[in-house]
A and B are shown apart, each in its own frame.
Chain A
Amino acid sequence: MRKIETSLAALLNDIGVFYVPKEWHFLSVNGIDLGGGKIELQWIFSKYGVKDEIVIYYALSDYDTPVPSIVDLIPSAIMGEREIVDMFGLKVDGAAKGLYLDKDSMKYPLRGEA
């Protein structure tokens, strides 16, 4: 497992350079609440045909900063993005609310208890 730090501004560029569809399998987008309004976002990839090669791009952010969408690069990321929109109440371009929760729900279950 390799962890590479990036930022929200540089994310699209980093992943665009890194991601080759025939080499890398995109796993998911993941969010981890760090408490105090901070959140760690992760984009997880694994390599085809190689043992235990996982690369995680991560960026620190807060609840209000819009997260860039990587759907243009990786179409299947839409599910993961919709999930973090639902669960953390983040803003992602083009990802609609309402994958799991109600469309007008004001709850963000996985946010910290602050």
Chain B
Amino acid sequence: MFRSMLEAFLNLFRPIRTHRYPAEEITLPTGYRGLIEYGKEACIFCDKCEKVCPPGAILFYQHEDGDKEYRYNPWLCIYCGECVRACPKPQEALWQSETKQHSAVKEEGVNEGWFVWEAACKESREEYARAKKAGKIQNKSEE
């Protein structure tokens, strides 16, 4: 009993184990798996990252002139890094940073905005494929 009282007394002078979280920033360890970042200049638009992504957090929008637009949902991403490993040009076109994504707030329209975007991407692909097919047929008939 005396030992436990001594321990209790000594505990008054021991360092605190918890963080005062909102007041104090938590230090992330080195090598923290953070946001996936994208460099448009190096990207060759092979779509490999889109195919391997387990939750489908990377999508490409197909413009009519053949260009593609990269879009990434950091709140859907599970930060596994599979896209970076699939990328033919890692560190230049796609890399994993150590920054942490802030929590989503309602104004950002995380779900609604993303659903709209998902549908738009799908539609743009289909439309582009249709236009390409029609173009091919037209080319053939011209020949």
| A touches B (Cβ under 8 A) | no
Residues on B close to A: CB < 8 A? Answer: none
Question: Which residues of A are at the interface with B, using a C-beta cutoff of 8 A?
Answer: none
